[in-house]
Structure 1
Amino acid sequence: MPSFMSRLAARLLLAFSCLAAAGCATGGACDPRLSASPQLGADCRFQNLPNPQALPAQGSWTIWSRFLFADKQGTVPVDAIPVRRLDRAALDALDPAANHVVRLGHSSHLLKLRGRYWLIDPVFSERASPVQWAGPKRFHPTPLALQDLPAIDGLILSHDHYDHLDTATIETLRERVQRYFVPLGVAARLREMGVPADRIEEFDWWQQARHGEIELTATPAQHFSGRTLWDRNRTLWASWVIRSGGERIFYSGDSGYFGGFAQIGERFGGFDIALMENGAYDSYWPSVHMSPEETVKAFRDLRAKLLYLVHNSTFDLAFHTWQDPLNRVAALAEQQGLPLATPEIGEVLTLGRPRQNTLWWKGLR
């Protein structure tokens, strides 16, 4: 039986890791390389776009106290979450003329874009945490092992929180990825993990680049950043637009609801698919993660054809039940006649191809 002190230490680590979804802290010196960004404030921290409708969050101590002492109900599944196992042969057999999205869990995705492999926010570790002895633990294994990944053309990061930027994953992949595409300030994180500086490109919002046939644009999001108690908002956060062939993919990263979604939808003229955050929301931090209703509203703002839900079913990061994000959006999609994708872990979705969506979590405890 663990001692009281060891249990307390574990809960402290859990709270710290979960605050990658809720927030804390100050500190650090201003990096002159970032000073040209309109997003960098006078205090040398990045900031969100003005949003008078954004609701205020509770104070850091209130949030910490809740993570440490409040009871959670139904936030971790009792039954096994279904996982479709993948191997290299199955990936290589995917049509090289099409664009494919493979759900790895949480917000991690493997893309096969016209025959070339890309990763979004890959987290293969057992825990989304600065250590592997405490912090939010995976509900399910990854559908393929990290060492079984193919060579990666590009790796896209939305921000530096532990459930999106995983040290062990980056260190393992650092020589197998041609190019890293990250928001401003995140390059320093990757260099600390051993990634060669000449393989990293940093982006401010609205900046674009091409890599092979793929065009990338970093777009605004409403969130925050930081990996310690002293570096809040020292790096930028972003959503991303990916153009491959004639198809457009939107990835929200982590974001609260804001007017930027409508601006992105107008500027790009809509999307074939929108990978939208749906999970880790709470009334204590209402402006940095979207409620299910806001996820649907943002999807409509983006003018996308297919709503694909991410940021759920892998880690316990909030106080809602693990099924709540999926249940609420699925109900809204049915009521409003919205095209919805809730793929199983390991499922391959091919853009522009018919598929039968299933509510795989129904009946699971």
Structure 2
Amino acid sequence: MTTVSLTGCSTTSPYADSPQFRDGGFHNPVAPKQAGLAQMPRMLWRFMFDKPDDARPDAPPQVTPLTRAQLLAAPDGTLFRLGHSTMLLKLDGGFWLTDPVFSERASPVQWAGPKRFHAPPIPLEQLPPIEGVILSHDHYDHLDRAAVLALAAKTRHFVAPLGVGDLLVEWGVEASKVRQLDWWQETRVGGVRLVATPAQHFSGRGLFSKNPTLWASWVIEADGLRIFFSGDSGYFDGFRDIGERFGPFDLTMVECGAYDAMWSGVHMQPEETVQAHQDLRGRWLMPVHNGTFDLALHGWQEPFTRVSRIARERGVALTTPGFGEALDLRGPAPERAWWLPSP
């Protein structure tokens, strides 16, 4: 799989062959409900003046510090949660990172924008060599330019949806390291199989961007394990399609956090997180996209407490590793309510 290059394409888009691309941008099969320009003033007012008192934790969440030696000693089939949607997986003898964000703010500038609640469990510079980085889309809480450039020298492969790969090359990542895929396309790196699967979301790193790059979820197969990573998505029929094609999954990492009725088409409520997991035919559910950044209009603990209750009601096996904790993908530890204050 080679990178689609933007160089020299002045009249024909390099993405014109994608079923998801038309009228100069990428599109969902069905236009989802999301906040438009008319709703922006109200949304910004709510973010600035109408957040609940518990939208931010009183103290930084628990973090288990990690060292490079610990990571190197971990067996294949181990996952470490590093942040919001940043997971480090050890598969087929190598390390894989999802949506690595290590900056203080998920923002185009570091003096303003959503700020971290906690430091990463391990500094980026102390990470061991990375076999691959898996990117879901180009939003700032998933694609951290500073982290990508810092990782470029120690990372062998970057795997991304259409257009996101070209963005990495524009930033200075070697084109030979970049693979970008459309939905349902796949690539292999050694014993790791990666399939770009649909999601219901949007893209752009500017206020007036019109979906210049594609968004995706990912199927990850290695070491006899099958894992799903949702990236960002509203609830849609695509989860059932993915489950039918690739399920059952040993673990689904599904977004659960920074949701609101105003953008319900592109982010899921906790009830929908659990339903997506069930549609995917998952064995263990790990809720992600929570607990790290000041992105939400709900209490920072709310995604955990709601998804925990719903999972119990539906008989869904839930695992909730804290930041820096090791998770055995073959035998995940049951839910531990680390987000609650110690008695």
Fold match (TM-score > 0.5): yes
Question: Measured at CA, do residues 281 and 340 of structure 1 come closer, stay the same or move farther in structure 2, by a change above 3 Å?
Answer: same
Please give the per-residue CA displacement for 1:221-241, whole angstroms capped at 9, x wherever unaligned. Answer: 000000013422010000000
- Per-residue CA deviations over 1:141-186 (Å, capped at 9, x if unaligned) read 0000000001011110000000000011011111111011000011
Q: 1:338 is matched with which residue?
A: 316
> Counterparts of 1:90-239 in structure 2 under 5 Å?
90-95=70-75, 98-239=76-217
Query: How far off its partner does 1:94 sit?
Result: 0.9
* Cα distance in 2, alignment partners of residues 354 and 275 from structure 1: 12
Question: How does 1:9-88 map onto structure 2 within 5 Å?
Answer: 32-41=13-22, 43-50=23-30, 54=32, 56-68=33-45, 69-73=48-52, 74-88=54-68
| 1:241-320 matches, cutoff 5 A | 241-320=219-298
For 1:48 and 1:235, the matched residues in 2 are separated by 12
**Other structure's SS at 1:137 match:** coil
Aligned-residue CA RMSD in angstroms? 1.6
Write the distance in 1 (CA, Å) between the matches of 2:288 and 2:331. Answer: 20
- Residue of structure 2 in register with 1:18 after alignment: none
CA distance in 2, matches of 1:300, 1:293: 11
Distance 1:115 1:30 in 2: 44
Distance in 2 between residues matched to 1:230 and 1:254, nearest whole Å: 19
Give the TM-score, by structure 1 length: 0.87
1:68-126 Cα deviation digits (max 9, x unpaired): 3532112111122000000011111112xx31111001000111113211110000000
Looking at structure 2, the residues matched to 225 and 156 of structure 1 have their Cα atoms a distance apart, in angstroms, of 16
Partner letter of residue 75 of structure 1? A
> What's the CA shift for 1:305?
0.4
2:130 and 2:154 in contact (8 A); partners too: yes
Residues 91/58 of structure 1: CA separation in 2 closer, same or farther (3 Å cut)? closer
Q: Distance in 1 between matches of 2:252 and 2:265?
A: 20
For residues 18 and 321 of structure 2, what CA distance do their matches in structure 1 show?
A: 37
Distance apart, 1:354 and its partner CA: 5.1
In structure 1, what residue type is equivalent to 2:285?
A: L
* Residue aligned with 2:169, SS: helix
- Report if aligned partners of 2:319, 2:332 keep a CA contact under 8 Å in 1: no
Letter in 1 for 2:142: H
Give the AA of the match of 1:268. Answer: F
Count of paired positions: 331
Contact 1:30 / 1:44 at 8 angstroms: preserved in 2?
no
Three-state SS of the structure 2 residue aligned to 1:105 is coil
State the distance in 2 between where 1:44 and 1:132 align: 30
Q: Whole-Å Cα distance in 1 between the matches of residues 224 and 36 of structure 2?
A: 45
2:287 corresponds to which letter in structure 1? L
**What do residues 264-311 of structure 1 show as CA deviations (whole Å, max 9, x unaligned)?**
000013100000000111111110000000001100000000000100
What does the per-residue CA deviation read over 1:184-230, in whole Å, with 9 as the maximum and x for residues that have no partner? 01122112221011110110000011001100000000000000134
- Please give the secondary structure, in 2, of the residue aligned with 1:34: coil
Instruction: Report the alpha carbon displacement of residue 356 of structure 1 after superposing the two structures with TM.
Output: 4.3
The 1-side partners of 2:59 and 2:140 are apart by: 25
Determine the C-alpha separation between the residues in 2 that align with 1:246 and 1:88.
25
Contact 1:63 1:284 in 2 (8 A): no
Counterpart AA for 1:340: L
Q: Which residue of 1 aligns with 2:69?
A: 89
Amino acid at match of 1:37: S
SS in 1 for 2:173: coil
Identity across aligned pairs (percent)?
51
Which amino acid letter does the alignment assign opposite residue 353 of structure 1?
G
Alignment-derived partner of residue 10 in structure 1: none
Alignment partners' CA distance in 1, 2:339 and 2:196: 32
- Equivalent residues of 2:252, 2:286 under 8 A apart: yes
Work out the CA distance in 2 between the residues paired with 1:65 and 1:45: 26
Q: How far apart, CA to CA, are the structure 1 residues paired with 2:11 and 2:40?
A: 27
